[in-house]
Amino acid sequence: MIIGNGMAAAEACRGLRKSGFTGEVDVLAPDDLPTYNPMLVTYYAAGLIDYSAMFPGGDSNEVFDRYGVRLHRRSPAVSLSAAERIVRTSDGGILRFDKCLIASGASPLIPPFDGMDSPRVMVMRTVDDAVRLKSAMEKKPRRAVVVGASMVGAKLVELFFRAGLSVALADRADRIFPLSAHPDCSRMIEKRLAGMGITLRFSTEVSRAVETSEGLEIFFKDDSEPLYADILMVCVGARANIDFIDRDEIDTRQGVLVNSRMESSAPGIYAAGDASQGMNLSSGVQQIVGILSNARRQGYTAGCNMAGANMEYAGELPHNIVHFLDMNFVGIGDTNRYDSCESVEEGGRFAQVFYRDGEICGANMLDFFSEAGTFKNALVKSRHPGNGHCDHGSPAWRGWSDWQNILARMDPRGGSVLRLRGPAAPARRAS
């Protein structure tokens, strides 16, 4: 049984069949849409891709037929009993299972404020959200306010800016990308955004929004000047879709707590993707890491293990790699808890690496796109249990070597590079 038909679910089906499972698989879908990739919905709303491109696997049946699984459309799970081994669906159906994967993703959060029910207030996660925004854009709005200065917020700021709207970005944090950027990097990005005429408002929250003849008048808790908008986009995070779970039966916090095999506290019940709390390799604690690569790896691992394999997935290093408004921003790992850091800045390009306990724990890069993947992979490998120390052969050391290459490329003559704090090299493990 698989609850959900998203990115983690599709990978779980692949894992099940690849590991030789020949039994029946039921997949519960809440609607009759094909499996879509939430990463692509803003591109559709912006008119950059066709409607069909949001469904990279083609028609729902194409994805699930390939793995010979039974898809139950319009049948969201409404309750799950681990003890009885049954799932109840919204249409009154009762389905039995031997093993079950919770892959129901997450839904956008809207912090409560007066006026949040206005049709001008929107979120961005689903195909319906994208269709709604696209039709709002066709009415030629003039002003948009985006609340939430994260990856999704940045993509929406770009969408509105490119469409010629006057745009404001607000966050209760004191800067853009508060979870993935160091303040030094945030400030550089903010400078560019301000230079484009984008209004920035940080360290405050929306208190209420009032319909006026001028559009929505948006008030803030710090009593700063209200902002007017035809569209108020709220992207302040997501909440795992796990209301159908009995929390006395399955351990949950923000999501379903899973081990490295993606199994929950209830034997035979697994979870993957944005509904699960697996290992965050940066913090070393179980957290929801809401990125696609994590959902896919977790889904595949769960599928293999449901089929009887013994596969482990150590976890993911949070990373934020965004191309927006002609900038390439990369935030990898922990950029806010560190012992020392080292930075280079040249011609507007900026890179910064952070060290904790003698090892690289994170990095920010602005307009260093090509190095991001290599660097991230090296850091991920260095965080896997039993492989977390820096010696010459370790991936973390290679990550550091990549950093040295960046330094050398940016500063071949040792001239214009700005070096801040930082050790000469990560500490080597004593042998």
Sole binder of ligand FAD in the list 13, 16, 154, 291 (CB under 6 A): 291
Whole-number Å distance between alpha carbons of 50 and 48:
7
153 neighbors 286 (Cβ within 8 angstroms): no
Which structure tokens are listed for 46? 């912006």
Q: Which of residues 141-180 bind ligand FAD (CB under 6 A)?
A: 151-152
x-or-dash string of contact with ligand FAD, 85-124, rule CB under 6 A: ------------------xxx------------------x
Binding of ligand FAD by 274 (CB under 6 A): yes
Contact 308, 19 (CB under 8 A): yes
CB nearer to ligand FAD: give 115 or 299.
Answer: 299
Select from 113, 219, 244, 403 the one that contacts ligand FAD (CB under 6 A).
244
6 binds ligand FAD (CB under 6 A): yes
Lookup: tokens for 240: 């795992």
Which residue number has the CB closest to ligand FAD?
Answer: 6
Comparison of 4 and 215: residue with beta carbon closer to ligand FAD: 4
Which are the contacts of 86, defined by CB distance < 8 A and separation ≥ 6?
80, 94, 95, 96, 97
Q: What is the largest CA-CA distance in the chain?
A: 72
Stretch that binds ligand FAD, among 196-204, 248-256, 268-276, 342-350 (CB under 6 A): 268-276
Contacts of 247 (CB under 8 A, 6+ apart): none
In terms of DSSP bridges, do strands 285-287 and 276-280 run parallel, antiparallel, or are they unpaired?
Answer: antiparallel
- Alpha carbon dihedral 57, 58, 64, 67, in 10-degree steps, equals -60
* Nearest C-alpha neighbor of 254 from the set 236, 272, 241, 265: 241
Task: Return the residue of 30, 333, 362, 395 that touches ligand FAD, per CB under 6 A.
Answer: 30
| CA nearest to 86, candidates 268, 277, 302, 306 | 268
Cα 128–Cα 133–Cα 136 angle in degrees, nearest 5: 130
Considering the rule CB under 6 A, would residue 287 count as an interface residue with ligand FAD? no
Contact region for ligand FAD (CB under 6 A) — 33-41, 343-351, 370-378, 402-410? 33-41
Question: Binding pattern to ligand FAD, positions 201-220, x when CB under 6 A?
Answer: --------------------
4 binds ligand FAD (CB under 6 A): yes
Rule CB under 6 A: which residues touch ligand FAD? 3-9, 28-30, 38-39, 41-42, 76-77, 103-105, 124-125, 151-152, 241, 244, 273-275, 290-293, 295
